[in-house]
Amino acid sequence: MSEFFNSIGDFFVKIKDDFVFNFIEGERWRYVTDGLKMTLIVTIGAVIIGIIIGVVIAAIRSTYDKNEEEYRRRGGVGAVIMRILNGICKIYLTVIRGTPVVVQLLIMYLIVLVSTEEVMVGIITFGINSGAYVAEIFRSGIMSIDPGQFEAGRSLGFNYVQTMRFIIIPQAFKNVLPTLCNEFIALLKETSVMGYIALQDLTKGIYIIMGRTYSYVLPLTILALSYLIMVMILTWLVGRLERRLRASER
């Protein structure tokens, strides 16, 4: 029996030694904290850009979808502009969703934004990438609302924008919240490839540690757990927001 406890004791001692060796010696924990900071900065910046792009594109696309018949029938400058805008949005969505984010990152870093700071390149690229997905999430949310809701709003005298603002978007937002949360979880995890453009995020930091210590189990476990915990916190926050929004319904 005592042998059993001894072996458990040994196990923990070994982990502790491992931890000290990997993270304490040479102040290597700094790679983790600095990396975490970088991961969060890029993710949060990208979320903000993604939402802005997403809202604009979803607005253009769903306006076009809802009024397609009218544009075709009435013509005029407005209709032509909407057609062009809708076309541009479609191209953007196709290209961004059709290419890997690592490739986009390299193109931006090495060709498009050569003289820009790496952090900004990261934020902009992940933002543009996420925007494509957010746009389609918002659009699907808007299109999923019963057309009767739209008609009821219009029949009361609301114009198109007012109907969207007062009637459709509050309902759509509630419906897309879980999907939106999914997208941000995916974005958070996707930022782990930013090491490709010499940004030291969490993943890259751990990578550097492993290069120094040649030990893998503990650093990789801690890396995985860090992402897991961040995702769990995010999920919990969104869950709370969702419950609060739902509470007003019954």
Partner 1 sequence: MNGNSLIRTEGLCKHYKNGKIKALDGVDVDIEKGEVVVIIGPSGSGKSTVLRSLNLLELPTSGHIYFEGVDITDKKTNINMHRQKMGMVFQHFNLFPNMNVLKNMTVAPVQLKKMKKEDAEKKARELLEVVGLGDRAESYPSQLSGGQKQRVAIVRALCMEPDVMLFDEPTSALDPEMVGEVLDVMKDLARQGMTMVVVTHEMGFAREVASRVIFMADGKIVEENTPKEIFENPQSDRLKGFLAKVL
Q: By C-beta, is 158 or 196 nearer to partner 1? A: 158
Q: DSSP label at 99? A: S
In this structure, which amino acid lies at residue 14?
K
Q: By C-beta, is 78 or 100 nearer to partner 1? A: 78
Q: Minimal distance in Å, beta carbon 86 to partner 1?
A: 20
In this structure, which amino acid lies at residue 63?
T
Q: Minimal distance in Å, beta carbon 97 to partner 1?
A: 31
129 and 104 Cβ atoms separated by less than 8 Å: yes
The CA distance from 219 to 202, in Å, is 11
Q: Which of 67, 81, 78, 108 is nearest to 193 (CA)?
A: 108
Q: Which residues contact partner 1 (rule: CB under 8 A)?
A: 69-70, 73-74, 146, 148-149, 151-152, 154-159, 162, 166-167, 170-171, 174, 248-250
In this structure, which amino acid lies at residue 211?
G
Cα 155 to chain center, whole Å?
37
Q: Minimal distance in Å, beta carbon 46 to partner 1?
A: 30
Q: By C-beta, is 98 or 157 nearer to partner 1? A: 157
Q: By C-beta, is 17 or 70 nearer to partner 1? A: 70
Q: DSSP label at 26? A: G
Q: Give the side-chain half-sphere CA count within 13 A for 173.
A: 16
Q: By C-beta, is 33 or 155 nearer to partner 1? A: 155
Q: Minimal distance in Å, beta carbon 67 to partner 1?
A: 10
Q: Minimal distance in Å, beta carbon 187 to partner 1?
A: 28
